[in-house]
Homo-oligomer: A and B are copies of this chain.
Amino acid sequence: MNREIVLSADLGGTNLRVAAVDRDGSILFRTKRETPRTEDAQEILCLITDEAEKCRRAVESAGKVLGIGAVVPGTVNAAEGIVLKAPNVAALNEFGIGGEIGKRLNLPCFLENDANAAAIGESWCGASKGFQNSICVTLGTGVGGGIIIDGKILRGIDGTAGEVGHICVEPFGAPCGCGSRGCVEQYSSASAVKRLAYELGEQFPDSHLLKNANLTALQIYQAGKSGDALALEVFRQQGFYLGIALAGLINTLNPEIIVIGGGAAAGWDLFLPFIENEIKSRAYREPAKRAKIVRAELGDDAGIMGAARLAFENIAVVK
């Protein structure tokens, strides 16, 4: 066979996913490993390149591997292939992982951050497929974002654009890890959902939710589904504040579609009405009507699909 294939590696705080993907977006082979807890960047690099070699060997007979896209959970200098800051994989801070991967595999390597990769992946073959102007919001431990304008990911002048999680929605609100206060991340991320449940607990003495000392977002969701008032208030706030941030983005960017993914999107049916309500009452009518609010479709594959797409796009440029 003579298919065009790229490798893609999505390094998360918990797992490393590596895959071989063809130009149609089919995953031909994949592996998954735990992200090593290490301070040694070389150890992470070796794991990525070992898994990538496995993928390359597995698709040897199917076609030619042309390059690799790599995703890390942090800020990157995409042009130089350098990780700037990856709080959950701190070993990689300021490490030129793109160049190293490329050298070891003898393939052109293209580096991207996780939120941008998810936006590219969803836009290639997920929920925003076929749209040229989209925003992808990932509700995980934090709130990440990727903005696509005229079919191109918006990087900004330093490559730091898209940080929609740090739009302020409550000027004197909860302190945020970024140094600010009241960022939407503090109300709409998975961590925020848990924090809100504990914080709001006192106001809901009848709720059984807080009997559990180690609440998960899923448990809060299940309590909400069975009518627990505390859980419902948590999701109301999650949606209310996310809606405020999205209304601002709709007024500012006038996108066609906003895709919401990540673990804390699990409460979708409980928080969506509050997002929609804020958009309707806060954004201009025309762009508010235009912007579809949809759930992400690629789940944990968003990163590898985005990295693969990025590799295909840039290989063409390198050629």
Chain A residues engaging chain B, CB cutoff 8 angstroms: 75, 84, 132-133, 145, 147, 149, 154-164, 166-171, 178-181, 240-241, 244, 247-249, 251-256, 281-284, 286-287, 290
Contact = CB atoms under 8 A, between A and B. Distances in A.
B254 A168 contact: no
A290 B156 CA distance: 11
Contacts of A84: 286
Contact of A159 (B163, B164, B254, B281): B254
Given A149-B149, A247-B180, A284-B178, A290 B157 contact: yes
B168 A244 contact: yes
Given A281-B180, A282-B180, A287 B160 contact: yes
B156 A281 contact: no
B254 A290 contact: no
Nearest to A165: B251
B171 A170 contact: yes
Contacts of A167: 248, 251-252
Contacts of A149: 149, 154
Contacts of A147: 252
25 contacts: A133-B156, A133-B157, A145-B252, A149-B149, A156-B255, A158-B254, A158-B287, A160-B251, A160-B286, A160-B287, A161-B253, A161-B254, A161-B287, A162-B252, A166-B284, A167-B252, A168-B169, A168-B244, A168-B248, A168-B282, A171-B240, A171-B241, A178-B284, A180-B247, A252-B252
A179 B283 CA distance: 8
B157 A254 contact: yes
B249 A156 contact: no
Given A179-B282, A284-B166, A160 B254 contact: yes
B244 A163 contact: no
Nearest to A170: B171
Contacts of A75: 286
A287 B84 CA distance: 13
A288 B253 CA distance: 20
Contacts of A287: 156-158, 160-161
Given A133-B157, A149-B154, A179-B281, 7 more contacts: A145-B252, A158-B254, A158-B287, A163-B251, A166-B248, A168-B248, A181-B282
A239 to B, nearest CB: 13
B284 A254 contact: no
A290 to B, nearest CB: 6
A281 B183 CA distance: 12
Contacts of A290: 157-158
B252 A284 contact: no
Given A168-B248, A244-B168, A286 B256 contact: no
A156 B253 contact: yes
Contacts of A158: 254, 286-287, 290
Nearest to A289: B158
